[in-house]
């Protein structure tokens, strides 16, 4: 599975509409020096560049894609997830004006240039354990279908790849386990415990406590992995 493509599709696939149909507008390239004082009116005007006359207080998937292009980040860039968390965005692929103002007021960004200058800061938030945990938990509700309480496996795998791909060496093994398992969705308890498992359990599994309070899914993963490694089943 191409995780980059999957995450990109979650945030909204690129529009096939001809660029000639897009309303021309000037794009800040970061060359101009941005003012230091946050201007809410300017921030709202910036928001309107990506919303439509029919939905002036909501940026939809095409607007989010346009925003990503202007910001010069791919939709699967984790900085976009962190920004969405800052905004408290409720639904992937959409920003409301209220969410936009909440996040960008906190970041003190009323222009593209200012937000581009904050991208490293957004990435740095992931280095803080408590912030990462909050972002990880947020990602579950952000990426699930709102009429579902669980996260479908393909979406879960895409988001896990985005969040844990560089820090959990057992992630690919976990994906292989999921592919052959009976699990087609992850509930929030399972989702949250995957993070705790990735932090607490060593790669060799020797410190895994079978009598611990792990979800059955993770007990099954450990047993599956031991069998595939040619080791004894959990006693």
Instruction: Quote the pLDDT of residue 6.
Output: 55
Topology of the domain covering 133-229: Recoverin; domain 1 (1.10.238)
Residue 153 structure tokens: 């496996």
- Whether the model clears a pTM of 0.75, i.e. scores above it, the answer is yes
Residue 205 · residue 161 · CB < 8 Å: no
Instruction: Quote the pLDDT of residue 24.
Output: 40
C-alpha 130/C-alpha 231 separation (Å) is: 35
The answer regarding whether domain 40-127 maps to CATH 2.40.30.30 reads no
Instruction: Quote the pLDDT of residue 7.
Output: 57
List average pLDDT for each run of 10 residues in the chain, which is 235 residues long: 53 42 40 67 98 97 96 92 98 96 98 97 97 98 92 96 96 97 97 97 94 94 94 53
Q: Which residues, in sequence order, are CB contacts of 190 under 8 Å at separation 6+? A: 215, 217, 218
SS (H, E, C) the chain: CCHHHHHHHHHCCCCCCCHHHCCCCCCCCCCCCCCCCCCHHHHHHHHHCCCECCECCEECHHHHHHHHHHHCCCCCCHHHHHHHHHHCCCCCCCEEHHHHHHHHHHHCCCCHHHHHHCHHHHHHHHHCHHHHHHHHHHHHHHHCCCCCCCEEHHHHHHHHHHHHCCCCCCHHHHHHHHHHCCCCEECHHHHHHHHHHHHHCCCCCCCCCCCCCCCHHHHHHHHHHHHHCCCCCCC
* Domain ranges within the chain, ordered by starting residue: 40-127, 133-229
Altogether, the residues listed in the chain come to a count of 235
Model confidence over 80-124: pLDDT tens digits?
999 999 999 999 999 999 999 999 999 999 999 999 999 999 999
Q: Do domains 40-127 and 133-229 have the same CATH topology?
A: yes
Instruction: Quote the pLDDT of residue 147.
Output: 87
66-74, Cβ contacts within 8 angstroms, sequence gap of 24 or more: 66/22, 68/11, 70/27, 70/28, 70/112, 71/112, 71/115, 71/116, 71/119, 72/116, 73/119, 74/4, 74/8
Instruction: Quote the pLDDT of residue 11.
Output: 60
Instruction: Quote the pLDDT of residue 31.
Output: 36
Instruction: Quote the pLDDT of residue 131.
Output: 98
Instruction: Quote the pLDDT of residue 102.
Output: 98
Instruction: Quote the pLDDT of residue 25.
Output: 44
């Amino acid at each position: 599975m191409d995780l980059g493509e999957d995450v990109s599709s979650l945030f909204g696939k690129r529009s096939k509409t001809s660029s000639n149909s897009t309303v021309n507008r000037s794009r800040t390239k970061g060359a101009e020096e941005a003012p230091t004082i946050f201007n809410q009116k300017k921030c709202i005007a910036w928001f309107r560049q990506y919303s439509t006359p029919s939905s002036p207080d909501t940026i939809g998937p095409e607007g989010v894609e346009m925003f990503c292009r202007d910001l010069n980040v791919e939709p699967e860039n984790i900085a976009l997830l962190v920004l969405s968390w800052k905004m408290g965005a409720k639904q992937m692929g959409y920003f409301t004006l209220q969410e936009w103002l909440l996040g960008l007021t906190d970041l003190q960004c009323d222009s593209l240039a200012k937000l581009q200058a904050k991208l490293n800061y957004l990435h740095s938030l992931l280095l803080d354990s408590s912030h990462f945990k909050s972002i990880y938990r947020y990602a579950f509700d952000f990426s699930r279908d709102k009429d579902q309480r669980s996260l479908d496996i393909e979406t879960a795998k895409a988001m896990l790849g985005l969040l844990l791909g560089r820090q959990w060496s057992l992630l690919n093994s976990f994906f292989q386990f999921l592919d052959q398992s009976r699990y087609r969705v992850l509930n929030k308890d399972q989702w949250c415990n995957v993070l705790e498992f990735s932090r607490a359990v060593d790669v060799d599994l020797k410190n895994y406590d079978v009598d611990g309070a792990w979800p059955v899914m993770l007990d099954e993963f450990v047993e599956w992995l031991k069998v595939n490694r040619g080791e004894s089943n959990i006693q």
